[in-house]
Amino acid sequence: MTNNVPFAYGLCMLLFFIGLYGVITKKNLVKIIISILIMNNAVNLFILLLGFRSQGKVPIMTADTDALKFALRAMDPLPQAMVLSSIVIGFSIAALMVAVAVRLYKRYGTMDISKIRELRE
């Protein structure tokens, strides 16, 4: 079995840069919010990959399994706990961003950032 972890790191970077491209180039608030969420998911996937330990087999604990061998093959639980916290925080931030976008739309009547800047002045 080959080790595909470097390939997965590259996919995380690609996903993050796709989100960053969307944040930088898009003018619509909804597209910017979606791009930020894509970046958040890329960071969560990267954190999960940091806790991955590959020894070639899926770690299944049986009665005759040595605990040390199992611990060397098992995934680290700390990144999983961090990602769970990050998901909750990301959901809260997404709700806040959507609420601000709705308020901006009600005030200015558009989701285009450049038009909002023009109307503000």
Q: How many residues does this entry show for the chain?
A: 121
- Among 20, 18, 19, 84, CA closest to 51: 84
pTM of the complete model: 0.81
Domains of the chain are 5-120 (1.10.287.3510)
Residues in Cβ contact with 15 at an 8 Å cutoff, skipping those fewer than 6 apart: 38, 39, 41, 42, 45
Give residue-wise pLDDT tens across range 47-98. Answer: 988 877 665 556 666 776 777 777 776 777 888 899 999 999 999 999 999 9
